[in-house]
Structure 1
């Protein structure tokens, strides 16, 4: 099993730059071996023993202190032997010792100070230095607590080391915070226990983490990430991999915790497991990738660097080329596009699908290892894997132009469009959300837009067809709104002659769902804004398809629909002010009736409304003059 590289190893640039810098004190503490940490209290024992022998006063109290100190020293030495004799490949979990050792050292120092005061001294020193039986009583109570702490720590090491189960008792030091003691016990089992103990400990950590974010933070701070990743990498136990992935999934709901997983070189391990594991494990790992990418932009970059996107697209499209193409009755079917791929089937298509996986970095992905298992899995399990992979792609593409480009480079657009057409429910929704993120990336990146969403591109045509189909027919309001938003992001890709998109969007202005109508207004606005090269032609098309009456009805309302409708009709007036439809609808009078305070509240309207009024006034003056 791979071990964590030393602190001097060269780390990836993104991780090295983005992790929070550690203080010199923290680095020094981490560099110290546990033997060095325990050496100081052990050395104090010799000094205390010598002072006990030299004591002239309170000999009984000093003797009792010496006995307790001797018990502590034996425990400390036993802990050192445990740390140095840990089996190869097993990490000794020293976090509890590092926390308890300073408290033990403090109590031993107090013991040395008190016992020294009992040595033979001059009369003046005896008078000045006052030692009472109460002092010994307090000290013995402190030493009893340290003995109990050490006894508890050694018990969890022994339980973790020999598989004796998880210790749920509390050390005195943590009686007010039992969570930490439980976490220590579970992590000790993760590091030093047998396989079944590790699985049980991982599940217990997941249960604790689900309670609240404080528990999650304690689990991460006490060092659970590295042993969880090691358990995830252990391919000998599918149950262990599932338990580890599930626990990491619960922990990965915060950017700092995700970065901790990254800092332990978790991304390469996670991607490797995604490529090499059975389907049940792949589902959990894909969910983990989605959660990490959702909460950390750095994780998006790291997963892309490890070629996770290609693996996810491959898993998502596993049955894509294997299914027979069944003719569809709807005009939006993309079977004609799938026919293009049938030529590939004549050239050993299955090798083509698996060939995608061979491009994984380092050649570590063995896509054929579990191919038979995947083919024999239940349809429900295959569906669950596709849902998880689609969600992971969605989170990796969200707000990330390079990752959207990578999805398109893997020919994922065609696969996503096919699934949106043929599937329903969560899988369809996740694929549609991925398409929405890709179209948003294309909207913000001209090179991506020009290279991918060409009018003659089969993948682009398939995506647009499915988006238009959903806008027309989708019963799910969420899918409906997402499809409208995605088609609006592609506004700059449609030529003036392609009027079907504008026609469909204009029809949505009267939709009973306000969210759909508002999103249609925003999408149409992207067609006619000055940034769109064809804004004049698109403005005329909107008017031609009867958009003005719908807009005038929206202007009688209020709220967001009123604002977006006013902006859209302003653009129509600026770019197509000579239209008689605008004059017949009384748009100029409507502008003059708009509340000036409302215009002043929105910076967009401050410039648009006067321009629109000017263009309409010029046209009407020239019209009447003629």
Structure 2
């Protein structure tokens, strides 16, 4: 694992000094050798070259430059082992008493050749290391002997040193190359972390002098962190989150796009990362940037809240009189040039919306922050006015916030209070998207969000239930299944208004559509059957249930479904028993489910 500055490991200089002293012992003993004198002297000269190279590395490391210690430690450790082998060999060349001891201390030409080869490898490693540390030309593509069996090590080491010591363009190229290497396989991502490649990328990300390098660093980190919890933990534990948020809040637009993508990658994998970013107030710049050029309703209140919001972001954007957010005259330079590109602005919004979506997943604190910063109103407006990936990301964000609100009554009552402008705007868009869109990837999150908010609706609400009931007959079985799941949340026993909602579903001709759904395939049966069971328990005396042969349907599907979902047995039994109370003669023919 990469060296921790707070660990009890030896200081690198001390480690190299010990290796140099070991080399001096080898040289002295080689000079004192009484057998194989010529070979011993040659080994001594070779060891002298190794020691000279070690001293050169010590001077570089002691010169105040911040360099990655991992490759140096690896190479010095290998050099030390080779010197130990050399010492053992030259020790045998000293005069020993007794014939038997002389026999056991005999050396061969093969022994010298092997040690000679090891010293050559050590010199090659040291020369490669010095060429990297002294290079002003960017990445060294040569291969040191220590990495002959694993060339990726040399690439990572070389690129890491270029990140730390190279010129701005070389550093940007090195970050891009690291990202490309990481894209190849998961092992490379692990090596980049282990060999010290992440800290210089984080440092490069924070340097405003080269936006190109910042973009390359953010993109590389996004790739390296994908499916790598250890990298995410390392970044969070390194206290890099506040710095990432600061770069997002105060950088050119093209940098912000990449940083927002990095935030998405980090928070998508671990709740710990989500919480750290929320504590660093990442929702503020994300909502602010998503609101750029978006006209919001209720302009007076929005102008006041968002104006104070954006002022906290170093005056990057200002709220205008129509309730939209536009770039301020402050912070000119290439930031304003970025705003002149509609494509770049659209990419920025897409990235910010995705980050908000990933932040909201299973994170109550994040959802509260988003709703407190007019985030819901902004998401609703974009869902209404935009299409494609931006609209999708905003829908997914609303879906995740709604899912958290489903299990948190306080958030549900405050953020989704039906009389609140933001909540009304969101619900209007959900009820529009669910029936009007033809793309299942848009319909499904809208339907899920409505279902998550089921407890917010009292009495009969046909305007809410109607779009869901209509989707029970959707040709896409996934959309129809999600509609059944959502309706199930309206009529389940946990919902105080389940009776009224059940009556409304019957009045909207939901039963025939539900029966059609149950005929489609096995994958959808469990959701449809649960909905039918709830309806049977709530409005079992309805004639439409008898006309549509609901009892027969439950009996037909009960056993095969129970085989895969045994926890549904009690619900099915209760529903069928309830229906038999209202259907004459049903008790005479019905067999218990367990038989």
State the TM-score, normalizing by the size of structure 1: 0.86
**Kept after mapping to 1: 8 A contact 2:138/2:167:** no
Aligned partner (choices 135, 146, 152) of residue 173 of structure 1 = 146
Q: Deviations over 1:335-380 (max 9, x none)?
A: xxx45224665x7x884452353699xxxxx985359617842111
Corresponding position of 1:304: 278
**Which SS does the other structure have where 1:495 is aligned?**
coil
**Kept after mapping to 2: 8 A contact 1:234/1:241:** yes
**Kept after mapping to 2: 8 A contact 1:318/1:353:** no
- After superposition, the Cα gap between the structure-2 partners of 1:50 and 1:357, relative to the gap in structure 1 and judged at 3 Å, is closer
Corresponding position of 2:367: 404
Corresponding position of 1:16: none
Corresponding position of 1:23: none
- For residues 478 and 54 of structure 1, the distance between their equivalents in structure 2, rounded to whole angstroms, comes to 80
Shift of 1:522: 0.8
Aligned partner (choices 237, 261, 278) of residue 287 of structure 1 = 261
Structure 1 range deviating more: 525-534 or 481-490: 481-490
Q: Deviations over 1:177-230 (max 9, x none)?
A: 111011111111111222222122112212211211111211111101111111
Aligned residues: 571
**Which SS does the other structure have where 1:510 is aligned?**
coil
Shift of 1:475: 2.2
Corresponding position of 2:554: 591
Corresponding position of 1:391: 354
Q: Deviations over 1:282-326 (max 9, x none)?
A: 000000000111122211111101000111011111222xx4xxx
Corresponding position of 1:111: 86
The answer to whether residue 116 in structure 2 is matched with residue 153 in structure 1 is: no
- After superposition, the Cα gap between the structure-2 partners of 1:309 and 1:53, relative to the gap in structure 1 and judged at 3 Å, is same
**Structure 1 stretches lacking a partner, 5+ long:** 9-26, 324-337, 361-365
Aligned partner (choices 157, 166, 171) of residue 198 of structure 1 = 171
Task: Give the RMSD, CA atoms, in angstroms.
Answer: 2.5
Shift of 1:108: 1.4
Corresponding position of 2:48: 70
**Kept after mapping to 2: 8 A contact 1:309/1:407:** yes
Corresponding position of 1:131: 107
- For residues 316 and 245 of structure 1, the distance between their equivalents in structure 2, rounded to whole angstroms, comes to 19
**Kept after mapping to 2: 8 A contact 1:407/1:413:** yes
- For residues 344 and 92 of structure 1, the distance between their equivalents in structure 2, rounded to whole angstroms, comes to 48
The answer to whether residue 193 in structure 2 is matched with residue 220 in structure 1 is: yes
- For residues 566 and 458 of structure 1, the distance between their equivalents in structure 2, rounded to whole angstroms, comes to 36
- For residues 542 and 286 of structure 1, the distance between their equivalents in structure 2, rounded to whole angstroms, comes to 42
- For residues 550 and 516 of structure 1, the distance between their equivalents in structure 2, rounded to whole angstroms, comes to 13
- After superposition, the Cα gap between the structure-2 partners of 1:130 and 1:538, relative to the gap in structure 1 and judged at 3 Å, is same
- After superposition, the Cα gap between the structure-2 partners of 1:374 and 1:307, relative to the gap in structure 1 and judged at 3 Å, is farther
Spell out structure 1 runs of 4+ moving beyond 6 A: none
Corresponding position of 2:299: 341
Corresponding position of 2:590: none
Aligned partner (choices 450, 467, 487) of residue 450 of structure 2 = 487
Shift of 1:566: 2.0
The answer to whether residue 25 in structure 2 is matched with residue 47 in structure 1 is: yes
1:168-567 matches, cutoff 5 A: 168-253=141-226, 254-320=228-294, 323=295, 338-342=296-300, 351-352=307-308, 354-355=310-311, 357=313, 368-369=330-331, 373=336, 376-567=339-530
**Which SS does the other structure have where 1:295 is aligned?**
coil
Structure 1 range deviating more: 426-435 or 351-360: 351-360
- For residues 520 and 452 of structure 1, the distance between their equivalents in structure 2, rounded to whole angstroms, comes to 23
- After superposition, the Cα gap between the structure-2 partners of 1:469 and 1:49, relative to the gap in structure 1 and judged at 3 Å, is same
**Structure 2 stretches lacking a partner, 5+ long:** 317-326, 587-595
- For residues 308 and 610 of structure 1, the distance between their equivalents in structure 2, rounded to whole angstroms, comes to 50
Corresponding position of 1:28: 8
Q: Deviations over 1:388-427 (max 9, x none)?
A: 0000000111122221121111110000000000111111
The answer to whether residue 77 in structure 2 is matched with residue 102 in structure 1 is: yes
**Which SS does the other structure have where 1:166 is aligned?**
coil
**Which SS does the other structure have where 2:353 is aligned?**
helix
**Kept after mapping to 1: 8 A contact 2:473/2:514:** no
**Kept after mapping to 2: 8 A contact 1:491/1:526:** yes
- For residues 457 and 350 of structure 1, the distance between their equivalents in structure 2, rounded to whole angstroms, comes to 17
Corresponding position of 1:57: 35
Shift of 1:265: 2.2
Corresponding position of 2:322: none
Shift of 1:612: 2.0
State the TM-score, normalizing by the size of structure 2: 0.91
